Amino acid sequence: MFHQVTIIGLGLIGSSLARAAKSYGLSSRVVAYDVDPSVRARVAELGIADAVANELENAVTDADLTIICVPVGATSDVARQMKDHLKPGAIVSDVGSVKGMVCDALSQILRPDVHIVPAHPVAGTEYSGPDSGFATLFQDRWCIITPPDGTSPDAIEKVRAFWCGCGANVESMSAHHHDLVLAITSHVPHLIAYNIVGTAADLEEVTQSEVIKFSAGGFRDFTRIAASDPTMWRDIFLNNKDAVLEMLGRFNEDLAALQRMIRWGDGQGLYDLFTRTRAIRRSIIAQGQETSAPDFGRVRKED
């Protein structure tokens, strides 16, 4: 499919992509670069790329497709550094969870003879680093591409084919719409998960050891989300500010209404909402975006 794919940043997503590209034969050669020398050493040890470059410039020189897999706040720096070393006609993509700011930055920084096809695979776990990746991470997940107007259809098709090769379904939309969709399906959920874990840690009446002991009643599910990479998530909130604040405003309005129902004992109102939310879960399971195993398929003794 490609002669050379270069991956910049070998965290959970980057290292999973390197593994997928090799496992599914999506590129004759996979080159990896990470700014952290210890990550480069580990990637070489793991053998998940054909070559590990010590400089970003060398890594991209012969790449047909370069995929930037760094926290979105670092994307511009990476783009500036690779700019003069990309070959004409090369495709540059990324995997950032924010697309508006990233698309603008890439379009402004990169040369006009390079194709820009930003992408965002909606997949992940709470773990970080090159050891946490696996080839099947993108299987049956969605990957959203947000090519700017006027992007070469051929370049778009190549990026789409690459993600399909990783097992993902690909959907195209504007960067602006992507940022709204992800604000409600990912960014605000992470924000409130981080928030409640912080609130629980600060209580005086309830000890932290009690919070930990009795976490199986719901809290522990939030802690998984709140264990995600802090740098990555800081950058997401700083770079998708408008959409996050908009969705958070709606969340707050709805929560105020719910709070009022509890205060005034409106059992019917609570019941109606709690019934309505079940249907959405059923659709998510029906569409293969979730396992229906109880308790997330957590493994139980003796079952």
Interactions with its own copies, residue window 155-214 (CB under 8 A): 171, 177, 180-182, 184-203, 205-206, 208, 210-214
User: In the window 73-92, what residues touch its own copies (CB under 8 A)?
Assistant: 73
Residue type present at position 295: D
Q: Toward its own copies, which CB reaches closer, 41 or 238?
A: 238
Number of residues that bind its own copies (CB under 8 A): 116
User: In the window 235-274, what residues touch its own copies (CB under 8 A)?
Assistant: 235, 237-238, 241, 244-245, 247-248, 250-252, 254-255, 258-259, 261-263, 265, 267, 270-271, 273-274
Alpha-carbon span 157 to 153, nearest angstrom: 6
CB of residue 77 to its own copies, shortest distance in Å:
15
Q: Toward its own copies, which CB reaches closer, 70 or 155?
A: 70
**Binding residue (CB under 8 A) for its own copies from 124, 130, 147, 165:** 124
DSSP letters, 27-45, are EEEEEEE-SSHHHHHHHHH
Radius of gyration of the chain (CA): 21
Let me know: does 50 contact 31? Beta carbons within 8 Å: yes
Q: Toward its own copies, which CB reaches closer, 108 or 275?
A: 275
Q: Toward its own copies, which CB reaches closer, 76 or 125?
A: 125
Q: And the tokens for 191?
A: 């924000």
CB of residue 129 to its own copies, shortest distance in Å:
12
CB of residue 126 to its own copies, shortest distance in Å:
7
Q: Does 284 bind its own copies (CB under 8 A)?
A: yes
Q: Toward its own copies, which CB reaches closer, 28 or 139?
A: 139
Q: Does 277 bind its own copies (CB under 8 A)?
A: yes
**Binding residue (CB under 8 A) for its own copies from 32, 110, 141, 172:** 141
User: In the window 36-65, what residues touch its own copies (CB under 8 A)?
Assistant: none
